């Protein structure tokens, strides 16, 4: 069964600290993996996409990694800011265009 599991479910860190969010998937055949950021009460916005051949990709303070062998991805946030408070959702696309969504990690940045 195609599944995407994210951990932790929620996370609270102090402003300026780093954090890493995890995404494990069992999706086959794999096409790509995206990380979305969703502010409270808003629609998700794409942060980055990882294809099978990519191991690391950065977007500003966000760095995503992908290990296609272990079927794991992570999203690392450096020097967190208050505006990083949001839910971060991992989505895996199968080659038949099916999207499998994780439940998200709710990140709270405290001053």
CB 75 within 8 A of CB 23: yes
Per CB under 8 A, residues contacting another protein are 4, 9, 31-32, 34, 41-46, 49, 89, 93, 95, 97, 99, 101-104
Of 15 and 39, CB closest to another protein: 39
CB 26 within 8 A of CB 77: no
Of 78 and 100, CB closest to another protein: 100
Compute the least distance from the CB of residue 78 to another protein, in Å. Answer: 23
Of 4 and 77, CB closest to another protein: 4
Compute the least distance from the CB of residue 46 to another protein, in Å. Answer: 5
Of 47 and 77, CB closest to another protein: 47
CB 23 within 8 A of CB 72: yes
Distance CA 33, CA 47 (A): 11
With left for phi above 0 and alpha for psi between -120 and 50, is residue 104 left, alpha or beta? left
Q: How many CB atoms lie within 10 A of CB 102?
A: 24
Compute the least distance from the CB of residue 16 to another protein, in Å. Answer: 28
Compute the least distance from the CB of residue 104 to another protein, in Å. Answer: 7
């Amino acid at each position: 069964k195609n599944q995407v599991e994210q951990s932790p479910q929620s996370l609270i860190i102090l402003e300026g600290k780093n954090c890493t969010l995890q995404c494990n998937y069992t999706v086959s055949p794999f096409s790509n993996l995206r990380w979305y950021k969703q502010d409270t009460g808003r629609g998700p916005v794409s942060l980055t996409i990882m294809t099978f051949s990519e191991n690391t990709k950065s977007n500003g303070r966000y760095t995503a990694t992908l290990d296609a062998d272990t079927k794991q991805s992570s999203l690392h946030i450096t020097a967190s800011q208050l505006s990083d408070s949001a839910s971060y959702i991992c989505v895996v696309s199968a080659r038949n265009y099916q999207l499998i969504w994780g439940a998200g990690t709710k990140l709270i940045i405290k001053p």
